[in-house]
Amino acid sequence: MLVEIFPDYETLSERAYELVATLIRRKPNCVLGFATGSTPLGLYRRLVEGYRRGELDFSKVVTFNLDEYVGLPPSHPQSYHHFMWENLFQHININPSNVHLPNGMVDDIEAHCDWYEEQIRRVGDIDLQILGIGPNGHLAFNEPGSSLGSRTRIKTLSRATRRANARFFGSEEAVPRHAITMGIGTIMEARRLLLLASGRAKARAVRAMLEGPISAMVPATIVQLHRYAHVLLDKEAASELAYNHHDGISEPFDVH
């Protein structure tokens, strides 16, 4: 696992852009796995800027998103479908038929999850999966206690996750109780992982992920086992790591 620590969020986002842009230029038909939330927004903003400068062509890129709330239509302002189109897809030249997002409104969720897995297999798996980490160590919506070999499925959201997301919905009660999520086993089949974490609120989860034992109670610890996992942290997210330079900034280092 390669870990890089940066002085701030903007520097972290610039490095993430450099890595993703390099893949798109080298493999124009690459398969990218996208995440939602505030952490990847700096990356997505830079991808849009790169496209507008003529540096990137998304016309052959294929994408898969990690998760979606059950019961929210794509038009809902808090749906992840809306998030991705609002913050990235509508601003670049991606082919809509190459965009894959779980549908939280389907009648048969199990069949939909099987279909989603088949679509990933059909394109030859994900080249680079972008990830965040929850304050409780969840990966996508794989909450603590999730099977480390799980596939795409419906999950009940923990109280901690619903509380953390309440700011987007106005109240905890308004947050959906279930979500469709790519499974941990599915995520681990991506050829490369790029995990981003920013802010002191993520520091304990980052410490557990990088320095703790692998455990289903901290699903993100599974990235320790991936052959090509690349973790980008800002100084605050790295603040509780035992392995750290005195000023909080380091050159890339392998922790496993």
Q: Is 103 a catalytic residue?
A: no
Tally of domains within the chain: 1
Reading the block at residue 95, the tokens are 């082919």
Residue 117 lies in domain: 2-254
- Residues ≥6 apart with Cβ < 8 Å to 174: 166
How buried is residue 122: exposed, middle or buried, by Cβ count under 10 Å (0-12/13-18/19+)?
Answer: exposed
> 4, 65, 67, 165: which is the annotated catalytic residue?
67
* Tokens found for residue 157: 């959201």
Q: In the annotation, is 172 catalytic?
A: no
What is the pLDDT tens value at each position of the chain, 256 positions in all?
899 999 999 999 999 999 999 999 999 999 999 999 999 999 999 999 999 999 999 999 999 999 999 999 999 999 999 999 999 999 999 999 999 999 999 999 999 999 999 999 999 999 999 999 999 999 999 999 999 999 999 999 989 889 888 988 999 999 999 999 999 999 999 999 999 999 999 999 999 999 999 999 999 999 999 999 999 999 999 999 997 643 444 445 444 4
pTM score above 0.85? yes
* pLDDT tens for each residue of 87-125: 999 999 999 999 999 999 999 999 999 999 999 999 999
pLDDT the model gives residue 248: 44
Point out the catalytic residue in the list 65, 98, 103, 136: 136
The CA-based angle 252-17-251, given to 5 degrees, is: 10
CA distance readout (Å), 93 to 43, 84, 88, 119: 17, 14, 10, 21
The catalytically annotated residue of 100, 138, 226, 230 is: 138
C-beta separation of 114 from 120 below 8 A:
no
For residue 144, the domain's CATH number is 3.40.50.1360
Is residue 18 flagged as an active site residue? no
Q: Give the per-residue pLDDT at 223.
A: 97
Is position 247 annotated as part of the catalytic site?
A: no
Helices 41-52, 9-26: axis angle to 10 degrees equals 50
Helical residues (DSSP H) of the chain, grouped into ranges: 9-26, 41-52, 80-87, 109-122, 159-169, 184-188, 203-211
